[in-house]
Structure 1
Amino acid sequence: MHHVVFVVYPGFELLDMSGPASVFNGANRALGQQGRPALYEIALTSSSGGCVESSCGVVLQTQPITDLQVVEAQTVLVAGAEREHLLTAVTDSVMQAELPRLARRVERFGSVCSGGFVLAALGLLDGYRVATHWDACGPLAQAFPKVTVDPDALYVVDDQVWTSAGVTTGIDMALAMVAQDLDASIAGEIAKRLILYARRPGSQSQFSPLLQAQVKGDSPFAELIGWMQENLSAPLDVSSLADRAGMTERTFHRKFVAATGETPARFVEIARLDAARMLLSRGLSLKAVAAQVGLFPPARLTEVFQRRFGVAPRLFRDMHAEMSLTRS
């Protein structure tokens, strides 16, 4: 058995624990359907044990972390929380003594969302590259200068340290753990059962340019951005977009950057690559995808896709298409 231990404390984010736990339980289910024994055993631990209330009011039963033997843990993950609850966890003397003991001896340890603050406060992330929720990247980097914070990744694996960004990305990280422990097909089966659109690579950005633009309801380019999304194969150079917006190129460029935080060219490239990723996960050919998203010929798609995601589009498609095709 591979023992996965979740470290929680009053006010923790429930999905930080329940999302990854569902993945590991899904792996056991998939193994059982193949006539194979379960691999994962899940445990919940806290400073003093007993009932611990999450941020949404759901109460979980835990065992004291002092009762946990090292042989009972191969993976240790700390859940995240809002600032006031993190401060309580960080200053807990039992946590301060026991977490380093576990981290030194387990196969891998890490955190989901802002749980990285607990590990960083104990010096357990010094010298490592980590991910955390986008809203916590700045504070984490400022408070712990020995930690390298990757503000863009969904999750980061650095040696035995696994850290993920906000909330649902703990599911992506857990799927990657299952793929490492077992194989990608098991991880794909779990993702399908959880009705996930696709397994997201850790290198994928936390931010979608379309989502960011949609958040700004008063954006003067909301209509233009919607049109761009539906016409990615069209010429989307600054001149064409400025004409459509009824502005000079200089004015359009300046106002677009102010509204979206990206240059028009960068925005278009990210939107095209995000669309390409979705189409590839459905099993479409590189030629078809390149044409649909305006990154033709396929060689151009390959160049920009690999530069952003760190993996060739053909490999990405092969990794994800089987799951998506089966689901459809």
Structure 2
Amino acid sequence: MTDRSVLVVLFDGVQSLDVTGPVEVFTGAGKVTGGRGGYPLRTAALGTAPVRTTSGLTLVPDATLAEAPTPHTLLVPGGQGTRRPDPALIAWLRENGPRAERLVSVCTGALLLAEAGLLDGRRATTHWAVCGHFARTYPRVEVDPDPVYVRDGHIATSAGVTAGIDLALALVEEDHGRDIALTVARHLVVFLRRPGNQAQFSTQLAAQTAHREPLREVQQWVTEHPDGDLSVEALAGRARLSPRHFARAFQAETGTTPGRYVDGVRLEHARRLLEDTADGVEEVSRASGYGTPEAMRRAFLKALGAGPAEYRRRFRTAAPHAKPSVPGS
């Protein structure tokens, strides 16, 4: 199939960004390739009436599901409407989902695929907040609550909301290579992609945001200066607190200790440099605040079970189209 047509399923209670995020990525790819690598895109619902999204916006489907031709990529978004799905929608997915060359869900759209029996015996993910419910309700699905997205054969499921953009970019990269996907990402002002095996929570999201402004400022400073002096004494000085008071207040308000927070930020920063740049291990270790390659190697082995060089190798093996970006390119 020359054209990788995309059909987006609409229903009342759909999450608008689950729809528009991937649509912008696929549309952008068509523009970047001058139409040669386009994704003819249509939306469809059970009926022709506009559907109301969870945010109150209304979307008008291009066609009914009954009249829509089988697409190359069938995309099923999530939203509150997945809680009590229309049986007719589930029946349509059960019949037509297997016909698509690629079956993709965003956020809780995975629940619709599971309800239709399309994820039985497969590994899948969804928004972290409903992974427990997902696993209990559909025991035949291997639910992985951690990744941003999961590929299992021709089926891809993604985590919450913006993860749909990550997955769409990964599909564009798979179809057209890293340069096209990178151009689309730059136009959307997002990272090229978070790798599918990256945790849904970044360090900053996993930790709570502190209530007090001085502590919030410290959190932001740590994120922006992983190579700085991030000792408890130095951070306490920035918050204008004694080290003991700072450590107690930080843990009480963020749910983690200053040391663990710093460790997470540095690890995340180092991972991103290894994934997205050609910087050597020694350069990455300095930029991420480890000081020496050996210190970074110990941190990687403890957290990830692999040293930095092995982590980079595995990442590139898992993402065969990926190649180091060149600074300034």
User: Is the Cα contact below 8 Å between 1:53 and 1:59 reproduced in 2?
Assistant: yes
Aligned residues: 312
CA distance in 2, matches of 1:87, 1:213: 28
Which residue of structure 2 lines up, in the alignment, with residue 321 of structure 1? 325
For 2:242 and 2:215, locate their aligned partners in 1 and report how far apart those are by CA, in whole Å.
8
CA distance in 2, matches of 1:64, 1:203: 35
Is 1:167 equivalent to 2:166 in the alignment? no
Deviation at 1:109, TM superposition (A): 0.8
State the AA in 2 paired with 1:319. K
Aligned position for 2:196: 202
Asked if 1:2 corresponds to 2:4, the answer is yes
Point out the more displaced range, 160-169 or 136-145: 136-145
Match of 1:155 in 2: 149
Q: Please, which of 266, 274, 278 is the counterpart of residue 272 of structure 1?
A: 266
Deviates most, 114-123 or 144-153 = 144-153
Paired residue secondary structure (1:325): coil
Extract unaligned runs of 5+ from structure 2. Answer: none
TM-score under structure 2 length normalisation = 0.80
Which range moved further: 192-201 or 95-104? 192-201
* Separation in structure 2 between the aligned mates of residue 80 and residue 291 of structure 1, nearest angstrom: 41
From 70, 78, 81, the equivalent of 1:80 is 78
Distance in structure 1 (CA, Å) of the matches to 2:181 and 2:11 = 29
| Structure 2 counterpart of 1:43 | 42
Kindly indicate whether the alpha-carbon contact (under 8 Å) linking 1:75 and 1:108 is maintained by their aligned counterparts in 2: yes
Post-superposition shift, 1:223? 5.5
1:289 and 1:12 map into 2 onto residues whose CA distance is 41
- Partner Cα distance (2:140, 2:242) in 1: 46
Check conservation: 2:208, 2:255, Cα contact below 8 A.
Answer: no
Tell me which amino acid in the other structure corresponds to 1:167.
V
Helix, strand or coil for the counterpart of 1:247? Answer: helix
Question: Hey, what does 1:17 align to over in structure 2?
Answer: 19
Instruction: Indicate the larger mover: 139-148 or 178-187.
Output: 139-148
Offset, 1:176: 0.7
- Specify which structure has the higher proportion of helix: 1
Q: How do residues 225-244 of structure 1 correspond to structure 2 at under 5 angstroms?
A: 225-226=219-220, 228-229=222-223, 232-233=226-227
Q: Which runs of 5+ in 1 are unaligned?
A: none
Separation in 2, partners of 1:288, 1:199: 22
RMSD of the TM alignment (CA)?
Answer: 3.4
What letter corresponds to residue 291 of structure 1 in structure 2? R
Residues 1-328 of structure 1 mapped to structure 2, 5 A cutoff: 1-32=3-34, 37-56=36-55, 57-69=57-69, 72-82=70-80, 85-88=81-84, 90=85, 92-213=86-207, 215-218=209-212, 222=216, 224-226=218-220, 228-229=222-223, 232-233=226-227, 246-247=243-244, 259-262=253-256, 266-279=260-273, 281=276, 284-298=279-293, 301=296, 304=300, 307=305, 311-312=311-312, 319=323, 321-322=325-326, 325-326=328-329
Indicate conservation of the 8 Å contact 1:51/1:62, yes or no.
Answer: no
Alpha-carbon shift at residue 81 of structure 1 (Å): 0.7
Alignment deviations for residues 68-98 of structure 1 (CA, whole Å, 9 cap, x no partner): 33xx31211111112xx2234x2x2321221
Distance in 1, Cα, partners of 2:63 & 2:220 = 50
8 Å CA contact 1:52–1:59 kept in 2: the answer is yes
Q: 1:80 to 1:301 in 2, by over 3 A?
A: same
Identity %: 34
- Greater shift, 160-169 or 96-105, is seen at 96-105
Displacement of 1:227: 5.1
Shift of 1:212: 4.3
Q: Is the 8 A contact 1:214 1:222 kept in 2?
A: no
**Distance change in 2, residues 1:298/1:102 (3 Å):** farther
CA spacing shift, 1:107–1:301, aligned 2, 3 Å? farther
Indicate the SS of the match to 1:146.
coil
Following superposition, the deviation at residue 291 of structure 1 comes to 0.7
Deviation at 1:240, TM superposition (A): 8.6
Distance 1:224 1:122, change over 3 A: same
Offset, 1:218: 5.0
- SS of 1:2's partner is coil
Separation in structure 1 between the aligned mates of residue 252 and residue 211 of structure 2, nearest angstrom: 14
Using the alignment, how far apart are the partners of 2:114 and 2:23 within structure 1? 23
Contact 1:50 1:62 in 2 (8 A): no
Q: 1:180 to 1:227 in 2, by over 3 A?
A: closer
